[in-house]
Amino acid sequence: MKETAILLMPPEPPPPPPPIDQRAFASLVGQHRRALHVHCYRMVGSFSDADDLVQDTMLRAWRAWDSYDPATAELGLRRWLYRIATNACLDFLKSASRRVTQSRSCSEVPWLSPYPDVLLDELPAADGGPDVEAARKETIALGYLALIQMLPAQQRAVLVLREVLGWSAAETAAALGVSVAAANSSLQRARETIGQHADPLATAAEPSADERAVLAAFIDAHQRGDAAASVAMMSKDIRITMPPHPMCYDGIDQIAPLLAKAFGDEAMGEWRLVPAWANRQPAAVSYLRRPGDREFRAFKIDVLRVAAGLIAEITTFDASLIDAFGCPKILEVTP
């Protein structure tokens, strides 16, 4: 009887994970910071909000560290952090009520901001994970980001986890605390919405020869103040938007007179442009020297979408993210 009682005793619980100090924690999770930042940015469409959400993710992870056991975790540290980051984004979206009812252009997403390629290049390509590959494809383009802002928060999360990161339905459901059936239903509805509104993004994984040539021509025409040359490199149905402002200019007939005015007698000053890349699209950081000023000061960032060798869309942002692009606020120009 004594032996039987011993056999029926429940097994001892596994020992808790070893304690970790803040420095070791920061070193361990810090290697995933850029991937988490890109994930949060994709979810909310804002670079600065992604900064805050990564900080929130790290704080949540630190507080929940006792629940993470590397010996038994099924998804690994990065996926554990992705789960925390996704729920941090969902909480933010719930409180911010950020969603657009339609996405005809980037002008309808006033919080949209660019993501410098110099930071996307920090992702550890050597590990070859799908989350890293995703940042090299069309799911980081501005058009895609504006489009998925139409989706309710849970649908957006399911779409990103399933189609961008390549998670299974079961993994996605577990991360969001919903049933597999609910996760599959959200994915189906998200795909239907995207399919109804999506336009071809024409965004390749790597810069194309057309994109490089168009960017060089765009910079040259802008610096020379050549409105005719600028118009010549634009498609007939070109669109120009300037988030957070609601303006949306459609078509060459609407834009050509504006360029003629901007580069004519009412020009704001002298321009210098520096080539850049954002969201895997060609971009230019513009510096303006106003009349009477001695210096070229950072003024705006233009992100171009190139299709069939022409500029199909320009999204213009202010220069608030100039530091993230690795560019100075004041441009040194050789006399």
* Tens-digit pLDDT profile for residues 281-310: 999 999 999 999 999 999 999 999 999 999
pLDDT at 12: 64
Q: Would you say residue 242 has pLDDT above 80?
A: yes
Residue 156 C-alpha from the chain's centroid:
14
- Spatial CA neighbour of 165 closest among 109, 227, 86: 86
Tell me the two tokens of residue 45. 């469409």
| CATH architecture, range 209-331 | Roll (3.10)
**112, 146 contact by CB (below 8 A):** yes
pLDDT at 106: 83
Percent of residues, the chain, with pLDDT higher than 90: 62
pLDDT at 28: 83
Task: Give the residue extent of every domain in the chain.
Answer: 22-197, 209-331
Q: How far apart are CA 61 and CA 201, in angstroms?
A: 36
pLDDT at 171: 93
pLDDT at 8: 57
Of the given ranges (22-36, 49-63, 267-281), which has the lowest mean pLDDT?
22-36
Residue 70 C-alpha from the chain's centroid:
30
- Spatial CA neighbour of 252 closest among 266, 271, 233: 233
Q: Would you say residue 200 has pLDDT above 80?
A: no
Q: Which amino acid is at 29?
A: V
| SS3 (DSSP) at 77 | helix
**210, 284 contact by CB (below 8 A):** no
For the segment 153-191, what is each residue's pLDDT rounded down to a tens digit?
999 999 999 999 999 999 999 999 999 999 999 999 999
- Spatial CA neighbour of 36 closest among 12, 23, 52: 52
